[in-house]
Structure 1
Amino acid sequence: MTLFSQTIIDFWDSSFNGEIFYNDDYFCCIINPHLKESRRLMVLTTANGKVSVVMTPTIATKLQLVKEQPISEEIFRNKLEEIGILLHSADHIFYFTEKEKEKVCTETATKNIRQLTEQDVEVFSEFENSASEQDLDDAYVELDHWAVFGSFAEERLACASSMYPWSDNTKLADLGVLTLSQFRGQGHARKVVRAISQYAYEKGYEPQYRCQLDNTASISLAKACELTLFGQWEVISPDSP
């Protein structure tokens, strides 16, 4: 059995597909003229340390890359800096392994956890009003997302998680989760993440958990949920020329 599902592997293989410009044990450079404008340059560093880059021919030309000429991650990033191309801050990307997926799919949710609907507008509004703007921005949990689950304590919504299909051509569902500060450390987030992930699996989707590299609390939560690091993903910034 492979570590991650074929759905996950196929998505990243298709995202980093094209003409292999350079490849060794540590670094791979791929040219693809069909990338979306917003993703015309992407970098994926998998958990085993292999760095893969995919870019349009235009960017490859700007970087003055020569086919088959040895190139390392350090050289590549130096070239980006020289011509002013910026990348968004990297995201950690976590998934459940195939083994853990089996456990998630057979778990029984606790009675204080349920799916939220449009009938929960007032409950969710109170939840949002009790959270900081920074927490709301970081978590990106919305009641109108594809699926929303919540955990209740003291007769109020203590933690919520929502997810949405990450793109049109994949079965990955990107999720966010937020626990109100007074209810943290009580296991709400772990249970909600696993409950909404079970729902995603029932609908034929793979849950995807992302967070920035310096978000230690979110990384700790991913580990508590038994998610496994797949890699780090970077995409070109809209501020780049």
Structure 2
Amino acid sequence: MAEFGEFSPAVIDFWMRGVAPSARPHRVHVVVDPTLSEARSASVLSVTDGPQILAVSPDRAHDMGLAHGDEHEPDHIASALERAGVTLNDPDDIFHFSVAEARALVAETPRHGVRALTLDDRVAFDHFIDAAPDDDVDEAFVELEHWLVFGRFLDDSLVSAASMYPWDDSMLADTGVLTLPDHRGRGYAAATVRALSAEALRRGYEPQYRCQVENLASVAVARSARLSLFGTWKVVLPAD
């Protein structure tokens, strides 16, 4: 069973709002949230070894015949989604630092070659982006203009970068990371993510790391950075 005390109250309050940590595992708990945007009007969070949470807008709940506080078997929810014409994206893994790891992280000194980036690093950052595969750049969503940006330099060249921004009007800060292909597998991405995350924690934010479940390289970075898997998350597929 997941130990929810392992994670900070900010993480629990965001992802499990409306559902008690004591909620039964392997059941789907319905949360009707009028603040959800159309782009996130239906989503399913499967907490690691814990409950599943269906968060839906009032209109989606009406279409599915569900009410706030309902608890159902997963098959029932799958059928309700299908009847309402709701298709969910492929799942993302959601990682956060445990409270104990976060405490250690804020006292950690960044590894050699890792530092914060500013707009003064524009030339180095642009060279870095130009050297990276286009698909990786699009997926990573690392931007020099983001709220926080850190990078790993090697021989004065930027080889890995990670950026972060406050997510969904919350105290969570979502992370993107990108490493040049010739420099992967050396721990640069994990070291950059840890330095970036430490600064976010010092500013009062909770680092969040999301990646597609099948993106094994990105999952490996999260594990190497000593993030813990909170759960998997599927959100409504945008309409064509």
Give, in angstroms, the shift of residue 111 of structure 1: 3.0
* CA–CA distance in structure 1, aligned partners of residues 109 and 220 of structure 2: 23
Q: Which moved more, 1:67-76 or 1:193-202?
A: 67-76
1:65 deviates by 4.2
**Cα distance in 2, alignment partners of residues 218 and 34 from structure 1:** 31
Correspondence for 1:12 among 12, 15, 31: 15
Contact 2:95–2:227 (8 Å) recurs in 1:
yes
Task: Give the corresponding residue for 1:204.
Answer: 204
Give the 3-state SS of the residue equivalent to 1:238 in structure 2: coil
Q: Choose 85-94 or 72-81, whichever is displaced more.
A: 72-81
Superposition pairs of residues 34-45 of structure 1, within 5 angstroms: 34-45=35-46
In structure 1, C-alpha distance between the alignment counterparts of 2:62 and 2:9, rounded to whole Å: 34
**Cα distance in 2 between the residues matched to 1:151 and 1:24:** 43
Distance 1:47 1:69, change over 3 A: closer
Matched, 1:149 2:177: no
Paired residues of 1:86 and 1:239 also in contact (CA < 8 A): no
1:160 equivalent in structure 2: 161
* Matched residue, 2:64: 63
Query: 1:188-233 CA deviation, whole Å, 9 max, x = no partner?
Result: 1111011001110111111100001110111111111110000111
Instruction: Note the C-alpha offset of 1:68.
Output: 8.9
TM-score normalised according to structure 1 size: 0.89
CA contact (8 A) 1:27 1:52 kept: yes
Q: In structure 2, do the counterparts of structure 1 residues 196 and 33 end up closer, same or farther at CA, with 3 Å as the change threshold?
A: closer
Contact 2:149 2:163 in 1 (8 A): yes
Provide the C-alpha distance between the structure 1 equivalents of 2:131 and 2:95, rounded to a whole number of angstroms: 28
Equivalence for 2:33: 32
How far apart are the structure 2 equivalents of 1:90 and 1:68? 24
Q: Percent identity?
A: 39
Residues 55-204 of structure 1: matches in 2 within 5 Å? 55-65=56-66, 71-168=72-169, 170-204=170-204
Change over 3 Å in CA distance of 1:77–1:154 after alignment to 2: same
CA contact (8 A) 2:166 2:174 kept: yes
Structure 1: segments with no counterpart, 5+ residues: none
Q: Is residue 172–residue 207 contact of structure 2 (8 Å, CA) maintained in 1?
A: yes
Q: How many residues align?
A: 234
Q: What amino acid does structure 1 have at the position aligned with 2:157?
A: R
| Alignment CA distance shift 1:63-1:101 (3 Å) | same
Q: Which runs of 5+ in 2 are unaligned?
A: none
Q: Name the structure 2 match of 1:218.
A: 218
Q: Is the 8 A contact 2:46 2:53 kept in 1?
A: yes
Work out whether 1:233 is the aligned partner of 2:237: no
TM-score by length of 2: 0.89
Letter in structure 1 aligned against 2:130: N
Partners of 1:95 and 1:203 in 2: CA distance: 16
Q: Which amino acid aligns with 2:195?
A: A
